[in-house]
Amino acid sequence: MRIRTLEISVGAFMVAGFAALIFLALKVSGLTLDAAEESYEVTARFENIGGLTVRAKVTMAGVVIGRVSNIYLDKEDFVGVVEMDIYNQFDNLSIDSTASILTAGVLGEKYIGIVVGAEDEYLAEGDEIEDTQSALVLEDLVSKFLFNKTQE
C-alpha cells in the first residue's frame, strides 16, 4: 500500500500545480476562457500618440470595447497610426466617432477613449476614424500656459 500513497500524493501535487495555474490565469490575469474574442480592426491617425502602448485599452464611456493592436509612423504625413481591435459585439459605432488618447489619473497609463458620433453608417473592418484628438503632452500644456500668462 505504500506505493499507492506515493502515487496519490504525486497526482495531488500535479493537480495542485494545475489548479494554481488556473487560479493565476483566471483570477490574477483576468483571462476569460473565450479569450479569442472576435473583433474587427479600425485605424486612427494622431498628431502625437504620447506614450500609448500596444495592448492599451480602447474604451467607450469607460467600458473596455477593444485593445490597441499596433502602432506605427506614417512616413509620408508624419503622423502616428494606431490600429485597434474592436470587439464584434460593439458593431454599431457610427463612422464619425471621435477617438482621443486619454490618461488614467494624473500619471496613469494611456488609453484610447471613443465618443460616438451621429451618422447612421457604422464603422467596419479596415475603416479609419477621421476625427482624432492627440495625447495631451505635459510640456506643451506648460508652455501654452506660460505663453498665455505672458500675453496678459
Partner 1 sequence: MVIQVLRRVGSKGVSFLESFGASGMFLFQSLVAVPNIRNNFPLLVKQIYAVGVMSLVIIMVSGLFIGMVLALQGYNILTRYGSEQALGQLVSLTLLRELGPVVAALLFAGRAGSALTAEIGLMKSTEQIAGLEMIGVDPLRRVIAPRFWAGIICMPVLAIIFSSVGIWGASLVGVDWLGVYSGSFWANMQDSVQFSDDVLNGVIKSIAFGFVITWIAVFQGYDAVPTSEGIGQATTRTVVYASLAILGLDFILTAVMFGDL
Site for partner 1 contains 31 (CB under 8 A):
yes
User: Contact 40/124 with Cβ under 8 angstroms?
Assistant: yes
Subset of residues 50 to 69 that bind partner 1, contact rule: CB under 8 A: 55
CB of residue 74 to partner 1, shortest distance in Å: 23
Of positions 4, 29, 61, 120, contacts partner 1 by CB under 8 A: 29
Closest to partner 1 by CB, 31 or 115:
31
CA distance 76 to 82: 15
Please choose, out of 26-34, 37-45, 89-97, 133-141, the segment that lies near partner 1 by the rule CB under 8 A. 26-34
Residues comprising the chain, all counted = 152
* Alpha-carbon distances of 139 from 45, 59, 101, 144, rounded to whole Å: 21, 26, 16, 9
